[in-house]
Amino acid sequence: MLPAAILAAIAATFLTHWAVMLWNSSYGGTPHMMSLIPASTLEPLMRAYFVPLAFILAGAYVAPRFKLATAAALSGLIIGLMVALSLSLSEHLSDPIWRRVVTWCLWIAAIAVSLFQARRMHKTEEPSSNVTGWN
């Protein structure tokens, strides 16, 4: 479960980078809405949402049983890492306070959405007494 979650987080990092690069390019000289936001702002905010979401959902998806408990454990790991990084890097960050607050809100939203989805996956999995399909 943890290797799949880590691979999903790495994949989400690459996908968000390429999405930002695609959105910030102007097609035929016509800029669109997303090109108005600089990539240096948009990419970290997208990563703040999609990386924890992919990490938790991938770990819960590959878990054979107890998908909600797996998602909760991975959420605890993410929260611990977020707090540790925020405390250790708070002096070195040059980001404005609004960006830190928005990043934290996106982290919390991603964790909430992934826990909700894991709960839905957990409810739809077959009961353990009927795993083999024999009645």
- Per-residue pLDDT reduced to its tens digit, 13-23: 999 999 888 87
pLDDT at 69 over 60: yes
pLDDT at 135: 45
132 part of a folded domain: no
Q: What is the pTM of this model?
A: 0.80
Residue ranges making up the domain that contains 43: 2-26+35-126
- What 8-state DSSP symbol labels residue 30? B
131 part of a folded domain: no
Residue with tokens 């949402």: 49
Q: Mind listing the pLDDT tens digit for each residue in 36-68?
A: 777 788 888 999 999 999 999 999 999 888 899
Tell me what the pLDDT averaged over the chain comes to.
Answer: 83
pLDDT at 6: 93
135 part of a folded domain: no
134 part of a folded domain: no
133 part of a folded domain: no
Number of structural domains (the chain) is 1
Residue with tokens 């990386």: 51
Query: Between 45 and 30, whose confidence is greater?
Result: 45
**Cα–Cα dist 124/57, whole Å:** 15
pLDDT at 31: 60
101 part of a folded domain: yes
Is there a contact between 8 and 57 (Cβ–Cβ < 8 Å)? Answer: yes
* Neighbour-count burial for 100-119, b at 16+ CB within 10 Å, e otherwise: eebbeebbeebbeebbebbe
Give the CA dihedral 36, 103, 122, 16, nearest 10 degrees.
40
